[in-house]
Amino acid sequence: MAEIWSDESRLARWLDVELAALEAWAEVGAVPAEDVADVRARAVPPSPERVAEIERVTDHDVAAFVDAVAEQLGQAGRWVHYGLTSSDVVDTALSLQIHDAGRLIVEGIDRSLDAVVAQAERHRNTICIGRSHGIHAEPTTFGWKLAGWAFELDRARARIATALETNRVGQLSGTVGTYAQVEPDVERSACERLGLEPDPLSTQVIARDRHAELLTALALAATSLERFATEIRHLARTEVREVEEPFAKGMKGSSAMPHKRNPKVAERICGLARVVRANALVGMENIPLWHERDISQSSAERVVIPDSFLALDYMLDRFRWIVDGLVVHPERMRRNLEMSHGLFFSHRLLLALVESGFPRDEAYRTVQTHAMRAWDEETDFTELVRGDSALAASVDLDAVFDLDATVRHVDTVFDRLHALVRKEEPVHA
């Protein structure tokens, strides 16, 4: 990922666009084919150092790049950048970089998804307490929890694939996008050579709503990873300790406290998600440019687009590492489940009473009375209920207090997980 966003790669992609444009000019007969062949044979991406040296004089990066390329080529070098303006090169090359980077992101999501699905299968029937507002609610399974992550990762993949397709456009429409100095057929031919579609209407720049969509899709993926990482952090707390990050021999959790095994990688993911989300806002602010174009977006997106890809690529790698090596404590999950003294059966008891003929509010208040006593006195809820002869005579309490029945539909969810179809949409170069 770092290579894709390096200065060397950027200049190489700029040259790819220049050469595609020249070959398109030759195709329409406007530039001598032998000169284009000579340029193609001899042109190499200039070094960032040489471009920077020229830019210190020109104060213009693309002009410096064109001069650095042309100086290698002799007389044929006069055709480099023929009919083009800077944004034709920069925006089209950016689309190429985006698709190179996007392919790596999609691969990273696939690896993370595979890791999550494997752990979900492993813990399909590992019962744990589900929490709402941080408070014990009703039982679930740890695999059920992870299956939800898998579906969310698949949605992230779909959004990013869509955004990548939205950005699979190039432009060679010239100043203010009117094709005054370049033929539409040149744009069409050059874009085909690069694996891109011509932007239907570019105003010297490709409209930045496309890039904002991409940055938003990356930010949503990063935020999903933060949600998963936050759950890991909560479950790793000493008072909970249902899971732990991988902790290999020789690792140190703290410089001062030898006992510490902190969820530091999950915390790192949460921190980087804030960066990627902030970058998405910059993408939104880059949309409203003056008239046909200005370059207020340029300086900002040279930071936020590479940084978003780099951060998310790293986050996906570290998230997969956590999931692959996640330490899961099923026995602790069961102990935590039992901490609320069977209160998680309250809803099943409420429904059973309603089915037996109790008015709903009366049933609710009756169950709540026993529940609050169990809560306050740390007494087993099921025993309190069994001691209430009126309730015991009204419903089948063995059926009500059947723990396995609370997660009896887990196979339904896993059938859906197995049916999850990877959306192998093409990610173009």
- Active site residues per annotation: 133, 254
How many other β-carbons are positioned within 10 Å of the β-carbon of residue 399?
10
CA-wise closest residue to 14 among 97, 104, 102 = 97
Six token digits for residue 4:
């894709």
How is the chain split among helix, strand and coil, in percent rounded to 5?
65, 5, 30
CA distance 72 to 358: 90
DSSP letter string, 149-179: HHHHHHHHHHHHHHHHHHT-EE----GGGS-
Contact 79, 25 (CB under 8 A): yes
Please give the Cα distance from 85 to 73 (Å, whole number). 20
CA distance 52 to 60: 10
| Burial class of residue 256, CB neighbours in 10 A (0-12, 13-18, 19+) | exposed
